[in-house]
Amino acid sequence: MKRIVLGVSASIAAYKAASIISELNKRGVDVHVVMTEHSTEFITPLTLQILSGNPVHVDVMTEPSVERINHIFLAQNTDLLLVAPTTANMIGKLANGIADDMLSTVCMATPQTTPRLFAPAMNTKMYEQPVTQDNLEKLKRYGYEEIKPITEKLACGDVGIGAMAPVSEIVDLVMAKLNESPIV
């Protein structure tokens, strides 16, 4: 069974993590969820725990097992890392090596040989900011793959690019990456 880490950062699109988990579970993927503290205000860890069948990780200082360091274990025991939704804040953290919460720490500890995908979700103005675009380019240089946001009516009422890609597109890309043959 393939195993992924799903990172959830604090965007209104966090509720879509429930659908991502459900669809991946239907396809036989074992999903382990890591949330930022603020994302728990959009969707509860309990909801994602019930859907995934696994504990949800929020606090980097919580170590459920004395035999292993939790963020290292999660990062090194996954077939793929997906951060969906990914806020401008999380993109900035990852692009600049900041690991100050459970999600950014797991991301930083994930081997570069592990596929790492992220699905931005934010207001158009935030997405189009030069600093955000620079950080996106940095992440791509570091081996992350962007699942491009789409243009539609956003939570703030604006219409523009910044809505997280459709769940079906995200799930299809995850499955394609998980099923790729290793390059010899």
List active site positions. Answer: 156
Residue recorded with tokens 């401008």: 88
**CB proximity list for 66: less than 8 A, separation 6 or greater:** none
Calculate helix-pair angle for 88-95, 102-109, nearest 10 degrees: 40
Helices (H), 55-118: 70-76, 88-95, 102-109
d(CA 54, CA 103): 16
Rounded-to-5 percentages of helix, strand, coil across the chain: 45, 20, 35
Tell me, rounded to whole angstroms, the distance of Cα 25 from its chain centroid. Answer: 16
User: 7 is written with which tokens?
Assistant: 């990172």
